[in-house]
Amino acid sequence: MKAILIVTNQLILGQRIAGYIGSRHRLFPHTLVSRTGEAQKLAASMHPKFIVLDMHLLGVEGPHMIASLHRAARPAGIILVLSGDESPAYIRYLLQTPIIGLLTRNCSMNEFLVSFSEADQRHVYVSQDLHWVVSREVQCDDETPGIYVLSKRELEVAKFVAQGYTSAQIGQSMGLSAKTVEVHRYHIFKKLKVTNRCSLINLLKTA
């Protein structure tokens, strides 16, 4: 049978989606909900048809999770759920990752079902409230990525880094551990292809 794995730290949201899917969609009778810490191992063991990934994950780097789940459960289709406050450029960036669906928390439960039907045909589904974003042209240079590749949290951290704050100071300001800030710093420099704070400052100035 075709299973759907829902990955979210917010179990109430996950259970609501699971219940709705289970009651309305006969193609996917088995739906499991997992916390993010268990997701990769569970995805590898259950071989789901689809994975619904809530991008509003506490302490987890969303794009990194996409890649991890893709490796663990290939060829499962990954459908993302966004918080709704992401920038248009970041949404376009996500559409370049190995996903087959992009929804928002504001979309109806019926759109979840539509996305599964479309994904079953290997079509990428984008929810109605994101169509205007997809239609916009966003210029980018693959050799020198702009800050659009950063998540909202990473952009916040990047601004602190550019101002010379230490990881401990940033963590105190944002309510994060210094270790978590260090992980964000690593991903920021890697995504932006910069090696020092001066280069980061220059990118932020041109944004």
Is the domain of 128 the same as that of 162? no
Same domain for 35 and 111? yes
Residue 89 and residue 181 in one domain: no
pLDDT level of residue 160 (50, 70, 90 thresholds):
very high
Tell me the residue range of the domain where 94 lies: 3-135
Q: Which of 135, 163, 197 is the last residue of a domain?
A: 135
Identify the pLDDT of residue 136: 53
Pairing, β 77-82 against β 101-104: parallel
Nearby residues of 170 by Cβ (< 8 Å), 6 or more positions away: 157, 160, 161, 176, 178, 181
Residue range 154-158: average pLDDT?
87
pLDDT > 90 in the chain, percent: 4
* Dihedrals phi, psi of 168, to nearest 5 degrees: -65, -40
Of the candidates 114, 135, 156, which is a domain's last residue? 135
30 forms bridges with which residues in the sheet?
A: 3
Q: Which of 28-37, 115-124, 128-137, 169-178 comes out lowest in average pLDDT? A: 128-137
The yes-or-no verdict on residue 145 having pLDDT over 60 is no
Extract the tokens encoding 135.
């239609």
Q: Do 173 and 131 sit in the same domain of this protein?
A: no
Helix axes 109-120, 11-24, angle to 10 degrees: 70
Task: For residue 86, give the CATH number of its domain.
Answer: 3.40.50.2300
* Residue 141 counted as domain residue: no
Same domain, yes or no: 69 and 163:
no
Lowest mean pLDDT segment, chosen from 3-7, 38-42, 114-118, 187-191: 114-118
Same domain, 127 and 171: no
Instruction: Record the pTM.
Output: 0.61
Q: What CATH number does residue 194 fall under?
A: 1.10.10.10
The domain total for the chain is: 2
Q: Indicate if 77 and 34 belong to the same structural domain.
A: yes
pLDDT bucket at 59, cuts 50 / 70 / 90: very low
d(CA 120, CA 195): 42
- Say if residue 74 is in the same domain as residue 99: yes
Mean pLDDT of the residues in the chain: 77
Residues 201 and 129 in one domain: no
